[in-house]
């Protein structure tokens, strides 16, 4: 999330009643969690396992629960609870806004777009031209929809990221301040959910088509002209490149890349990146021809074992 206008390091630390190490007037231009940071962004770290990752990231302001010497170009805010302070800033600058109507007066809707009865269009949503938003679809605040997009009934665009920190007293939610962005000529099937980014954007690029009951996790990027079959579940911070086909029921783990023009056959699942231009099947997914040979071998295994007795 970008801050407009930017804050200074001193102002940011002041909101948190915390000490800072760095130049008081250093600009803080955005708030981002570690997966999406850019120069000018503020992020947080609260576990020794991730200190190095945060301090060497592109973020230039870091809320941290340990006093260390700031690396070159970095500024620190010293906090007992970096996670909580990060959430405080998120909710301060991107607070929840109550809806006052089914179509928010702050939404921008392009010429020729049809909003069917019962559809919900949240605050600050932008919808392009010649779209169809079917009955009972919900488009949450700050989402961006391109031109010639079709969103079928029961789908939710821009729901919160599934992101929690476990604590002795229960789970603490990492509040979402990102967006969901849908490109031109995308079609989204019924009862599909596309989560917004935690602090960046979840992006569905132009020409991609989704069947019904698809789940897309936070901060995921899906390229152009992909086909996503029914019941696919795509975890957060995943990158699916152009012209990929995921047939029905494919499971994709977080933080991986599926290369351009890859095809993943129905019912497969992967927890690792897949090279583009190949066809995959199985759990874990491997090249389909190899998997089929494995299945054929398994079919004759009982007879082989019988002969060995």
The total of other beta-carbon atoms located within 10 Å of residue 302's CB is 9
Dist. CA 215–CA 160, nearest whole Å: 12
Dist. CA 104–CA 100, nearest whole Å: 7
Question: Which residues, in sequence order, are CB contacts of 297 under 8 Å at separation 6+?
Answer: none
Catalytic residue check, 218? yes
Tokens of 186: 């995308």
Dist. CA 214–CA 221, nearest whole Å: 14
Question: Which residues, in sequence order, are CB contacts of 153 under 8 Å at separation 6+?
Answer: 116, 134, 135, 136, 137, 190, 191
CA angle 229, 230, 233 (to 5 degrees): 90
Dist. CA 279–CA 160, nearest whole Å: 32
Residue 118 and residue 152 in contact, taking contact as beta carbons nearer than 8 Å:
no
- Range 95-120 burial, b when 16+ CB lie within 10 A, else e: eeeeeeeebbeebebeeebebeeebb
Residue 235 and residue 273 in contact, taking contact as beta carbons nearer than 8 Å:
no
Tokens of 125: 């949503």
| Active site residues per annotation | 218
């Amino acid at each position: 999330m970008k801050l407009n206008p930017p804050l200074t390091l001193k102002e940011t630390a002041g909101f948190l009643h915390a000490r800072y190490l760095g130049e008081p007037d250093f600009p803080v231009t955005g708030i981002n969690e570690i997966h999406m940071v850019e120069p000018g962004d503020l992020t947080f770290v609260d576990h020794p396992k991730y200190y190095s990752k945060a301090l060497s990231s592109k973020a230039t302001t870091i809320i941290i629960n340990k006093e260390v010497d700031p690396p070159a170009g970095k500024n620190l805010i010293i906090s007992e609870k970096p996670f909580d302070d990060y959430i405080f800033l998120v909710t301060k600058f991107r607070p929840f806004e109550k809806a006052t109507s089914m179509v928010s007066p702050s939404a921008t809707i392009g010429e020729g777009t049809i909003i069917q009865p019962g559809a919900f269009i949240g605050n600050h949503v932008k919808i392009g031209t010649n779209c169809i938003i079917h009955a009972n679809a919900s488009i949450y605040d700050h989402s961006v929809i391109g031109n010639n997009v079709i969103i079928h009934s029961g789908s939710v665009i821009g729901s919160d990221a599934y992101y929690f920190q476990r604590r002795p007293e229960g789970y603490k939610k990492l509040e979402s301040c990102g967006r969901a962005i849908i490109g031109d000529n995308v079609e989204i099937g019924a009862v599909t959910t596309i989560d917004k980014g935690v602090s960046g954007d979840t992006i569905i690029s132009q020409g991609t088509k989704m069947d019904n009951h698809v789940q897309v996790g936070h901060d995921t990027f899906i390229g152009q002209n992909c086909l996503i079959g029914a019941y696919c579940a795509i975890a957060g911070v995943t990158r699916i490149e152009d012209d990929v086909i995921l047939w029905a029921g494919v499971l994709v783990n977080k933080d991986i890349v599926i290369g351009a023009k890859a095809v993943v056959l129905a019912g497969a699942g992967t927890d690792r990146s897949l090279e583009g231009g190949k066809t995959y099947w199985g759990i874990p997914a491997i090249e389909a021809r190899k998997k089929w040979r494995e299945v054929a071998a398994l079919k004759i295994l009982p007879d082989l074992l019988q002969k060995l007795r």
